[in-house]
């Protein structure tokens, strides 16, 4: 009985929502896409990704190839780079 109650409590704890990330995320970086139009049309690779992270001040980079499903959670320290069918950068968004 005791182990069943413990198991039920653990399962219920797994269903709770996570606490909100403080503004700026874990690393204290807040993403900004100002001035990122220069990357549109370039190939999405490690070099352009590093340059985008530097330009946006993001702590996390997320690539989004065509047809890739993305989570809808918001992270102020994350930059999402959408790619076209040939791997070219088509859009850059924060969150």
How far CA 57 is from CA of 42, 44, 69, 72, in Å, comes to: 19, 18, 24, 21
Contact 61, 52 (CB under 8 A): yes
CATH superfamily of 21-94: Trypsin Inhibitor V, subunit A (3.30.10.10)
Domain ranges of the chain: 21-94
Give pLDDT tens digits for 23-61: 444 447 899 999 999 999 999 999 999 999 999 999 999
pTM of the model: 0.70
């Amino acid at each position: 009985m005791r182990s069943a109650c413990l198991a039920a409590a653990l399962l219920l704890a797994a269903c709770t929502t996570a606490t909100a990330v403080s503004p700026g995320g874990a690393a204290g970086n807040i993403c900004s896409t100002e001035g990122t139009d220069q990357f549109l049309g370039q190939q999405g690779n490690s070099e352009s990704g590093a340059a985008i992270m530097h330009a946006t001040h993001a702590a996390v980079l997320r690539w989004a190839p065509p047809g890739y499903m993305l989570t809808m959670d918001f992270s102020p320290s994350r930059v999402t780079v959408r790619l076209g069918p040939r791997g070219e950068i088509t859009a850059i968004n924060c969150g």
